[in-house]
Amino acid sequence: MHGDSHDDGQDPKEKINYKATFRTLYGLTVPERRGFITAFVWIMLSTAANLFTPIIAKYIIDTAIPSGKSMMLLIAVGALFLNSMLFLGFSYLLRMRLVRTGQKIMTDLKKRMLAHMLALDLPFYAEFPVGRLTARVQSDTSSLYELFTETTVTIFRDMIMFVVTFGVMFYFSPRLTLLLSSVFPFVLVISFIFLRKSSTLFVLVRKLTSEITGFLTEHINAIALLQAYNREKMAADKLEVINKKKFNAELSGEFMSIIFYLSIILLSPISIAIILGVGGGWAIDGAISIGTLVMFILYIDTLFEPVFRLSEHISIIQRSFAAGQRIHRILERRPAIVDIPKPRYLHSIKEGIEFRNVWMRYSDDAQWVLKDISFNLPKGKSLAIVGETGGGKTTVTNLLFKFYTPQKGRILIDGVDLPDISLNSLRTAIGLVHQDIYLFPGTIMQNLKLMDDALPDSMVHDAIKTIGLETFFKHHSLSKHIVEKGVNLSAGEKQVISLVRAMVLNQEVLVLDEATSHIDPYTERLINTAMQRLIKHKTMIVIAHRLSTIRNADNILLISEGEIKESGTHGQLLERGGVYSKFYKLQFGENG
């Protein structure tokens, strides 16, 4: 699902939606309010210590030195030193508190995103490729770290520091302070221009970052395919292109930040020139003291530091909001299928499953995949679905599991509409063997238990016994380690494992999608025998291309182009001499 122009629903000129993102980001800080308040206390104390330094310096120059008393000078210098020590101590406490709070928010956010994503529906996963979701959980959350450690608290401190410094300076010399204020309109204009220009760049950087993770995930997953077709270099070249784009975007972003930072830094020498030039003139006239001039110069840094830092803050805020917006997009997403307020819980299925005139298409502009499908599967009976590839067989199971919702028609279990049934209880009652088998890295035993260590081993042994596969598992030790995606197993072995996995929970209804297509004739016979046993106890839906598996089903549907073309038992369908009997003869020869 990778493409240069299309990226998880964001267009390239997209700007940051600050309001919505702010709400999400603010929500993250709420549980950590106490941490932020403590940090704020430390930051205020360290700021106060910082503010005192120039005042003590002015006192030393204007009072202690002229007084000629060395004791007074000693005490003042001691106070200056103690003040600096306090500043360091508070700064240490502040850092530690911020790091802890920031890390806590990151971990909680990752946890929340994962929990949220796990509850989302399959259409969501069709829209957001796996690699890019990984990027959102990993790198987008991490790029909020600076926001929550550096920016959030510092911004308040800077505002207060600016106002207080300005006030103190104004107190000692209103004229000089007002004169210095003339540089601030420039700061505003420069900041505004920077903000406008760089917003899209930061969005672009986040997007390209996730595109790279996405690309890597997709291509490393497909490594066997790439190597088989000698496409390694092609993949590397494509990655190079995205990397280059990211490089350029990062560079442009940094370039703007640097220009912005430097143009603001330029204000410092300008201000010192104003103080020494104009203020120096006033000192000659005796209008202000030398100590005040020194104090003003020392304060210039304190006054401008918040303004300098504003440039850093603005880029961190933009970076974080670009990431925050992507996180917000995921968190605001509601699962397409949720339980109604008072759902019905399926404790056990008493009557059966019914599809009544069901119509389904995967999107509004797509073709109908299922057209007016109706069937009835009474409890304890078995239904087989056969038909050409792409005919809509898997779609039937997708609807039964509420992975998707049909546009028209009803699906009923014991006469209750599927939307009224609790999702959890539905999926507890019905077991599924997927057509695409996924195995986790871990032992066969762990996989059979769906990686749930709480399940006892005996459930696995029972399932193996029921299906009669003891011999198979003598050759394939349950402690054998399966590597990622099960590449150290044959396709048939994977199918057997996924079949047993569906038996372990001993659910009432079992849906098998193509579960036996890769199994060798010997194992297939084993499973078929087991299946005949199972069919007696369970309600089953079996989707199969191999007709041998389903000969004994109570009812067989032939679905083609989304419609039920034929239905009946194996015998009835053969007698009819329609498509099913043609299929059957193709597989087993005229006399099969």
Ligand X SMILES: Nc1ncnc2c1ncn2[C@@H]1O[C@H](COP(=O)(O)OP(=O)(O)OP(=O)(O)O)[C@@H](O)[C@H]1O
How many Å is the Cα radius of gyration of the chain?
35
- Given candidates 91, 289, 425, 435, which one binds ligand X under the rule CB under 6 A? 435
Binding of ligand X by 362 (CB under 6 A): yes
How many residues touch Mg ion under the rule CB under 5 A: the total is 3
| 3 state SS for 336-373 | CCCCCCCCECCCCCCCEEEEEEEEECCCCCCCCCEEEE
How many residues touch ligand X under the rule CB under 6 A: the total is 11
Range 366-395, binding Mg ion (CB under 5 A): 393-394
How do beta strands 430-433 and 509-513 pair? parallel
Residues 6 or more apart from 303 whose CB is under 8 A from it? 162, 165, 166, 169, 180
Nearer to ligand X, 318 or 394 (CB): 394
Cβ 543 to ligand X shortest distance, Å: 7
Cβ 502 to ligand X shortest distance, Å: 17
Judged by phi (left if over 0) then psi (alpha if -120 to 50, else beta), residue 68 lies in: left
CA distances (Å), origin 473, targets 215, 338, 465, 478: 38, 39, 10, 7
Nearer to Mg ion, 435 or 466 (CB): 435
Per-residue binder mask for ligand X (CB under 6 A), 152-191, x = binder: ----------------------------------------
Contact partner, 78, from ligand X, Mg ion, none, Cβ < 5-8 Å per class: none
Q: Helices marked H in 468-540 — which ranges? A: 470-475, 491-504, 521-537
Per-residue binder mask for Mg ion (CB under 5 A), 393-412, x = binder: xx------------------
Q: How far apart are CA 430 and CA 420, in angstroms?
A: 16
Per-residue binder mask for ligand X (CB under 6 A), 524-543, x = binder: --------------------
Contact partner, 47, from Mg ion, ligand X, none, Cβ < 5-8 Å per class: none
Closest listed residue to residue 427, CA positions, set 66, 179, 121? 121
DSSP E strands in 419-550: the ranges are 430-433, 442-443, 481-482, 509-513, 539-543
Binding of ligand X by 406 (CB under 6 A): no
Range 88-127, binding ligand X (CB under 6 A): 126
Contact partner, 352, from ligand X, Mg ion, none, Cβ < 5-8 Å per class: none
Range 126-155, binding ligand X (CB under 6 A): 126
Contact partner, 362, from ligand X, Mg ion, none, Cβ < 5-8 Å per class: ligand X
What's phi and psi for 329, nearest 5 deg? -55, -40
Range 375-394, binding ligand X (CB under 6 A): 389-394
Q: Six-digit token pair at 38?
A: 């403590």
In three-state secondary structure terms, 545 is: coil
Cβ 3 to ligand X shortest distance, Å: 17
Contact partner, 141, from Mg ion, ligand X, none, Cβ < 5-8 Å per class: none
Residues 6 or more apart from 536 whose CB is under 8 A from it? none
Positions that interact with ligand X (CB under 6 A): 126, 362, 369, 389-395, 435
User: Which residues of this protein are in contact with Mg ion, per CB under 5 A?
Assistant: 393-394, 435
